[in-house]
Structures are given as structure tokens and as C-alpha cells.
Structure 1
Amino acid sequence: MDAFTAGLLQRIRAAESEMDRARETGDDFLVEVEQGELDDLRRLAAEHGVEVSASQHA
């Protein structure tokens, strides 16, 4: 796995974790922010042929 792929997958995991924390604390604004970040990261992954494993946030 190259550095780009590893970094992208790490950023996706981090955004998913942040979104989980935001949901747990009831921070609806942060949930929306993190969802937008995830959407952007997943789009970037798709554009570069990076397979993102299925998760509970799909």
C-alpha cells in the first residue's frame, strides 16, 4: 500500500471516529461536518481507485 492510500484510509477512519463521538455527545453540527468530510474522502478514494472497505457509516 502506498503512502497516499494509507493516508487516505487513515483520514477516513479518523473522520468515522469523530462522527461517532459527535453522535454520542449529541453534537449534530459536528456530525454533519464529519459526514461532509467522509463524503469528500470517499469521493477522492473512488477517483483514485482506492477501495474503501464497507463500514457502519456507508
Structure 2
Amino acid sequence: MAPATYTQFIRFLQEDLAISAPSIAMAIRHREQDPGPLPMILWQYGLITLEQLDKIYDWLETA
């Protein structure tokens, strides 16, 4: 993901889905230890719902 798109993605998570910055930071830290898609890490740790996961993948398809 390009840096500009990544920034827009993080903004989408915070503004549209109301995911807190600390939750996103925790998921990013876990991703460094156990690489995987950030949306799946957020879901696996209970930081987002399945509905939010669907919205994330819809956003990623159009980004």
C-alpha cells in the first residue's frame, strides 16, 4: 500500500469507523511480530466487528 493510501486508510479507520489510535497502534505492533493483513489483526484481537471488517475491505477495494 502506498504511503498516501496508508495514511488515508488510517484516517478512515479513525474517523469513519471510530477505532481509537491506541487500538490501531497495538494492531500495528502485533503485525510486526506476526505479519498479516491489518484488518484481520484488528478483527482477531476484537478491536473491530465483522461489519466493520466488511466496510474496511469495501474501502480497500475502492482505494
TM-score (norm 1): 0.39
Compare CA radii of gyration and give the structure with the larger one. 1
Q: Relative CO higher for 1 or 2, CA cutoff 8 Å, sep ≥ 6?
A: 1
TM-score (norm 2): 0.37
